[in-house]
Structure 1
């Protein structure tokens, strides 16, 4: 798949990196390998000018509650469809600074034309199509579950051009983060995420206010309300489809429709509870037993909990606890696809 694996660093407390590239493949196979790697999230077609080989490379850093990626790739056309939205389980936002090249994309009736220096805000919760020439980008991927306080604002600026003095500050912050991310340590991640969240809110709020949430589809608004309710009552034994329906005033059929692309509401709740467990287990200040933490979120079968935890994160609860106590981050195996890499985002 063109994945070279994890980067080896002198100090294991530094942030891990994953490299994804086509340069390790035969020229005739390069585009097919890249197409397969991104297939769960987007369909791509090559530009006629790239007949023969195809260059694409990305370096990704897992920052816990968000992901950072630096990427370069040859011209292509891309399509993120309703099928991708339903099947991938990914509804992240992508904030990308185009450092080189040009791109044009469309989501519904919104058309976004970008050139070098532009900031793009794009949501994978909605379909979009586009094309790009040879581009290089610095990208932030934000999971909705980890940024509930700014979710409405990010949806409002989805696929529009955002400008302003604070947007310029935000762009400088992202580029500076790209320059120094290899030297950051695990202990500094929380400060980076906190400052970035504050800057995001300040920079994008004016544009979001101008657009207003009135343009947001009703289903998207209901889903955000349901998500916030789930997060608030995550440890409650009464959390389930019935309590959510009562609170939102919707039917079970409407609720299942809202969570269809996530595999159902029960699966979504289980994923969020696993994320909360992962955060608590890896927290060196949380001295509760792993079993106690698991039980507090409804996982009473410890063997089943361990299997589900490893399937979600690529490492065991015990490994997460040991890594947290040593000030390091647990090291899962390299992801096989782009969507697998994004889905490893843990609770903030």
Structure 2
């Protein structure tokens, strides 16, 4: 049985390539992965009989390639001979979301924990060890970043640190989370934004920070949005709490949510949407007041008024509306859409 290798390029969407060893016999899975991924010498850590579950999905975003990997334990060795054979002169920014990665070259040895950002270069040898690792990488060519090549070379084979590293990581995680829905138009916006962020990351001067102002704001907005959505039941979910979590001032936070009617309005609307969803799913089982209190509404009368103003009917009618197929109007803005609107 052959491995799953699916190139895809639906109308308007970015080109993508998916690969998985799931359909391969266990004892042949590592060989299948090695044949597909010939960019380095690979060595499985577990015996062939135990199988080698691995998959990758790659997306072409203009001059960038975004690839997400899920890998069983293995060792990798990118040698000088492979570099000469492939002729690669690319850098790669990677962020792990699961499992440690051990990485080293002739000068550095790095332990890459989940959430850390690693910059490495395919112009020189390196090696590494994976342990049931999930990570994603953005590959970009020297020719497209010639203006900061010296900075990138000095930062290669090292972890990136500081506020800009966190912003670049958040930007990458947002790209990864939405990769399957990206269009060619999105790719152009993301490629330009990523380039500005990388320049700000490695040079950290006022000119590059200013050029990256919009994608920095987009990454901050998306991080704030994710924090809010994950903490809708938290009693202390206030603008100040959001500021503390993402490390911005109240003034910057209000700028980020200006198109949403302000951060307090965004939090209220997300909580109302969560109440609507809970009431619709729970039928008559739960008291409306208990649902309102669960999501931070301390005044039930005020909750009824806000709910009706938002949806055009009261919470009690939400259950009937749900059975008829009516859903709440969600004003939450997608990451790439918000990025484009910033530049208008």
Query: What is the TM-score of this pair, normalised by structure 1?
Result: 0.56
Look up the match of 2:45. 47
The CA deviation at 1:108 is 0.8
Look up the match of 1:18. 17
The separation in 1 between residues aligned to 2:60 and 2:123, in whole angstroms, is 21
Look up the match of 2:120. 122
The CA deviation at 1:81 is 0.5
C-alpha RMSD of the superposition: 1.8
Moved over 4 A (4+): none
The separation in 1 between residues aligned to 2:193 and 2:170, in whole angstroms, is 13
The separation in 2 between residues aligned to 1:3 and 1:127, in whole angstroms, is 30
The structure 2 residue matched to 1:106, chosen from 74, 84, 104, is: 104
The separation in 2 between residues aligned to 1:205 and 1:22, in whole angstroms, is 40
Tell whether the 8 Å contact from 1:167 to 1:204 is kept in structure 2 after alignment: no
Residues 196-234 of structure 1 show CA distances to partners (whole Å, capped at 9, x for unaligned) of: 111111123259xxxxxxxxxxxxxxxxxxxxxxxxxxx
> Which one has a bigger Cα radius of gyration?
2
Residues 126-181 of structure 1 show CA distances to partners (whole Å, capped at 9, x for unaligned) of: 00112121100111011112221222221111111211011111100000011122
Q: Spell out the pairing of 1:300-311 with structure 2 (5 A cutoff).
A: none
Q: Which runs of 5 or more structure 1 residues have no equivalent in the other structure?
A: 208-348
The answer to whether structure 1 residue 31 and structure 2 residue 30 are counterparts is yes
The separation in 2 between residues aligned to 1:150 and 1:182, in whole angstroms, is 30
Look up the match of 1:90. 88
Q: Spell out the pairing of 1:83-232 with structure 2 (5 A cutoff).
A: 83-206=81-204
Tell whether the 8 Å contact from 2:30 to 2:48 is kept in structure 1 after alignment: no
Tell whether the 8 Å contact from 2:26 to 2:49 is kept in structure 1 after alignment: no
Size of the aligned set, in residue pairs, is 204
SS in 1 for 2:159: coil
The separation in 2 between residues aligned to 1:104 and 1:50, in whole angstroms, is 22
SS in 2 for 1:150: helix
Q: Which runs of 5 or more structure 2 residues have no equivalent in the other structure?
A: 206-344
The answer to whether structure 1 residue 4 and structure 2 residue 2 are counterparts is no
Report which structure shows greater RCO (CA 8 Å, sep ≥6).
Answer: 1
**Residues 170 and 32 (structure 1 numbering): CA distance in 2 closer, same or farther, change over 3 Å?**
same
The separation in 1 between residues aligned to 2:60 and 2:129, in whole angstroms, is 27
The CA deviation at 1:182 is 2.0
**Residues 82 and 66 (structure 1 numbering): CA distance in 2 closer, same or farther, change over 3 Å?**
same
The CA deviation at 1:8 is 6.2
Query: What is the TM-score of this pair, normalised by structure 2?
Result: 0.57
Residues 276-308 of structure 1 show CA distances to partners (whole Å, capped at 9, x for unaligned) of: xxxxxxxxxxxxxxxxxxxxxxxxxxxxxxxxx
